[in-house]
Each structure stands twice: as structure tokens, then as C-alpha cells.
Structure 1
Amino acid sequence: MAQKLETESLTRVVAGEAIVDSISVRVRESEVLAIIGSSGAGKSSFLRLLNRLDEPTEGTVYLDGTEYREFEPEELRRRIGLIPQESALQPGTVRENVGISDRIRDEPIDDQLTTTLLKWMDLSGYGDRNVDDLSGGERQRIAIARTLYVDPEVLLLDEPTAHLDTETEAQIEELLGELIREGDLTCILVTHDTAQAERLADRVVEFENGRVVDEGTPAEVIG
């Protein structure tokens, strides 16, 4: 299977410290790669480098074999979509948040697509609701719908269930599993939950102090 995303000696130094230290990984088309490791291991920092939310000090990223600086940042972030740990919704309605990428460009929101995505998120009829009235799980579903609105080829998931109660966490995880399977998405999942990595991932990479210390199948890395 073809390589979808590849990093080459990816490094980010902040205040003299390498928080991401010479990481080279490959992610195949339609593969789910989980990144595990302790807090401060560089997992989320690595994720932010993949679509240039942060810039590397050294190294680079390839998308479909093309060096990622050859893409305009807007195109890159459409093709490599990030679902952050915090939903980071903007003031306004659910509809306005799902279609925020069009709003930023002063283009009309695709109401049909928004309706389809909200139905997929089991949030039919929520379009006119104010996001301030949503639960944590509902906000996270809107964040997922917002990212899917631009039809990404690669999905970056940064601790997508970290702040949810157990029941809601299970619902979001089940939803993500369905999206990955049905959408045939290439995914990189950062998680502190090794059991979640075992359930969702094809392959696991373990970080420690900004470096890769182990890599393999979930059974090989997590045991």
C-alpha cells in the first residue's frame, strides 16, 4: 500500500530544547497510526508540525511524496485536517461552526453538506443551536464535523476523548471508528489511552522525550 504521509528527521526546538527530536515515520494510505507516550513526550507537538500549525526547526513532511512546503498552507490544512484536544468552537450556531472554513473565505455555507454531517454525528436538527448550549460530547462531535466539512485525506486526532466522561468517550470512539472505516481515512491518533490505541490503530509508535522509542503493531508495542 502506498505511503500517504512521511516525516523525515522532523525536529522542533523551543527555548533550546528539542520537543520533537529527529522523528522519521511513514503512514500508509488508509492506515491508523496511534502515537502513545507520557505527558510531555512531544506527541501533540509532533501532530502540529504535520500541517504546519507549527514550523519545524529541521526536517520535513511529505504528503503523497510531495514536500509539504510546496502546498499553500490553506490547501495543506484542508488535506491534512486536525481535530484538536479542545473543540475550540467559535461563538455562534452549530451550522456556522461546521461551515467555518467557508465563512472565513466569505463563501456561502453548504447547507446540504452541513445537514449530512450533523446527521452522521447523530446531531440532526442542531444546526441553529448556539454552541454555548452544547454538552462536551456534542461540542466534540461538532469539531469532528467541522474538520470533515473540508473533506480531508488525512485526519489528525489529538486526544479526541480526553476530557469526556466514560459513556461519551465510548460514543465518540465508536463514531471515530465508523468514520475511519467508512471514509477510508488515513489517521494519526495521539492518545494517552493505550486501550484506545489497541482498539483503533493498525500500528503504534511510542514517544519519549520527543523521540521514537518503539514502533510496531499494538500487540508488539503495548503487549
Structure 2
Amino acid sequence: MVSAILPLVLEDVELRRQGKRILGPVSLTLEGEGITVVMGPNGAGKTSLLRAMHGLERINRGRAVWQGGAEDVRARQAFVFQTPVLMRRSVLDCIAYPLILDGVARRDARARGEAAAEEVGLHVTLSAPVSVLSGGERQKMALARALIRAPEVLFLDEPCANLDLHSTAEIERVLTAARDRGTRIVMSTHNVGQARRLADDILFLFDGRLIETGSGDAFFAGPGTPEARAHINGDLLP
């Protein structure tokens, strides 16, 4: 049996840019199952935290410790950006690309790509260039590409930003299905309603600091900090 790459332990992680602290110090442990929603106002450090956990950011102080070697950890997690990364390929080849990198035969990779597109509800001409997709379709394509490897951990940065209600509902369906299959999901969102629907637990950031954590139910029943209460009430924070 393959050992899990979780838990992920962050120990006093701090990020700085041009000498300015943008995150931290943050200490937390990511383990178990479910969907963790990262919340906070603009500039709170949500994207920076996700990128530090995934390994996209150089950590200036502290450390992020996965269970396993670096190559194995990279292969068993995925990241979906707020603005999906597009390649100069067809929709199907974009989705299948991670499998081709893994050495899967092109025919098999494309067959699995078709199944992944169906799974996320991407009903478009898969031979078309990815540039013709709408915003919602691009996000579904990026999700299919991330999920095709069945990652143990999936990070998503505002996956439904600027999408209509129908596309948002479809993406939430995909995320809950992935969670139910065992993928551990960590995602940021500004949408309080979405956080209520999806969050098994919450990480609330303010001014680069992790100031509140807890189950989704407990957080929304009664946030423990004035900043979190203001945020979910839609109040402006200084």
C-alpha cells in the first residue's frame, strides 16, 4: 500500500516580498479528509498560503513538511489557478497532458481525458482549441486536467471567481464528488455562501496571519474573532 503524503505540517511559515511580510508566521496541520476553505479579505494572504503549501512559493522562514520524498509529493497533488493556465493544444490534449508527461500512451491518455471531461460536465468539442472556451468551460477544463491523476491533495485558488451561478453549481458538484472519492481539497473563496455549502473546516486569514480555524459549522454558527464576524456579515475591514 502506498503511504499517504498527508499530514502536511506548516511550522512557523513566513513569506516575504521585497522585505515586506505577506504571510505568517503560520503554523497548521492539514490531515484527514474533506474540504478546507481558506477565507479572509483581499490581501489577507489566501493565495500566498495555498502557494506555500503546494510548493510554488519560496518559504523565507519556517518549513512545510509533507510525508514522503519531494518527487512523490509533487506527483500526488495538483493546483488549479484562478485564471487557468492554457496551452496551445486542443481541449482534449490539454486535459490529457499530465498523463502524457507520466508516460501514458497517447491513445489511453486521450481516452481518460474524454472521461474526465464528461465527469466535470465539459460538453464541448474536445478537438477544438482551448482558446475558444468560455470562462466557465476553461475552469472545468483545468479541473479535469487536475483531477485526471486522482491527486491525493487538490489546491484551488478562487475556482468560481467571475463565473455565473450555473457554472459555479457545476464546479461545486465536481469538488464534492472529488472529496467523496477521497481527494483532500484546500480552496480559497470570497463567496461566503459557497464556503457555507462546501467547507468541512475553515482557515481564516487576516493581514497575513491565521487568526481563526475550526469546523465549517462551528465557524458560521459563531466566529470567534471580530474580523471573521465582520467578514461573513459583509462589513468592511480596515
Is TM more than 0.5 here? Answer: yes
Q: Hey, what's the Cα distance between the residues in 1 that align with 2:182 and 2:125?
A: 26
Residues 156 and 187 of structure 1 are in contact (CA less than 8 Å); yes or no, is this contact kept in structure 2? yes
Are the equivalent residues in 2 in contact too, given 1:78–1:151 (CA < 8 A)?
no
Query: Aligned ranges for residues 23-42 of structure 1 at < 5 Å?
Result: 23-42=26-45
Pairing 1:112-131 to 2, within 5 Å after superposition: 112-123=111-122, 126-131=125-130
User: What is the aligned counterpart of 2:185 among 183, 187, 193?
Assistant: 187
Structure 1 residue 218: Cα displacement: 1.9
Q: Does 1:79 align with 2:53?
A: no
Aligned twin of 2:224: none
TM normalised by structure 1 equals: 0.88
Structure 2: runs of 5 or more not aligned = 222-238
Displacement after TM superposition at 1:4 (Å) = 2.6
> Who is 1:132 aligned against?
131
Q: How far did residue 165 of structure 1 move?
A: 1.4
Conserved 8 A contact 2:12-2:61? yes
Amino acid in the other structure paired with 1:21: G
Decide whether aligned partners of structure 1 residues 105 and 42 sit closer, same or farther in structure 2, where only a CA change above 3 A counts. Answer: same
- Which whole-Å CA distance do the structure 1 matches of 2:138 and 2:220 have between them? 31
The one-letter code of the counterpart of 1:38 is: P
Q: Report the alpha carbon displacement of residue 144 of structure 1 after superposing the two structures with TM.
A: 0.4
Asked if 1 retains the 8 angstrom alpha-carbon contact of 2:120 and 2:170, the reply is no
Is 1:94–2:91 an aligned residue pair? yes
Q: CA deviation at 1:106?
A: 7.6
Q: CA deviation at 1:107?
A: 6.2
Gap change, CA 1:126 and 1:60, over 3 Å in 2: farther
Task: Work out the percentage of aligned pairs sharing the same amino acid.
Answer: 28
Moved more, 14-23 or 25-34: 25-34
2:210 is matched with 212
**Alignment size in residue pairs:** 215
Q: Equivalences for 1:145-156 in 2 at 5 Å?
A: 145-156=144-155
Structure 2-normalised TM-score? 0.83
- Consecutive unaligned residues of structure 1, counting only runs of 5 or more, are none
SS in structure 2 at match of 1:146: helix
What letter matches 2:150 in structure 1?
Answer: D
> 1:194–1:222: 8 Å Cα contact kept in structure 2?
no
Which of 200, 203, 219 matches 2:201? 203
Provide the alpha-carbon RMSD of the alignment.
2.0
